[in-house]
Amino acid sequence: MANRHTIILMQTSPSRATRTFMDYGSISQAMDGICGLYERKLKELNPAIRDITYDVADLYNFIDGLADMSALVYDHSIQAYLPYDRQWIKQRTFQHLKKLAH
């Protein structure tokens, strides 16, 4: 699963103008990127708080609050990108955070 190019597609609000993408060299880096996106949003909303903490439920609420989020992950065996939905992203971010905690 390592080194599988991953593109995160997202739309932050109902406006189509908020569509964007982020691309990463691996699924793990993509999950880091999503967590970083959420952490930057928290800092933006709470500029006076130095050490911000959150749990997985907070991260899930952030992901669910976006108008849309999905992932395209490159599969070397078929030489194509496979699509994954928001639920898959939430499962992978949880696994990623669990791995970082150990």
pLDDT in tens, 8-22: 999 999 999 999 999
Q: What phi and psi values does residue 15 have, to the nearest 5 degrees?
A: -70, 125
pLDDT digits (tens, 9 = 90+) for 44-88: 999 898 888 888 999 999 999 999 999 999 999 999 999 999 999
Instruction: Give the C-alpha distances (Å, rounded to integers) separating 46 from 39, 57, 64, 66.
Output: 10, 18, 20, 19
Tokens of 67: 């108008």
d(CA 23, CA 55): 25
> How many other CB atoms are there within 10 angstroms of residue 87's CB atom?
11
Global pTM reads 0.89
Helices (H), the chain: 27-45, 56-65, 86-101
pLDDT at 1 over 80: no
pLDDT at 31 over 70: yes
pLDDT at 2 over 80: no
Q: What phi and psi values does residue 10 have, to the nearest 5 degrees?
A: -150, 155
In CATH terms, the fold of domain 6-101 is ERH-like fold (3.30.2260)
* pLDDT of res. 61: 96
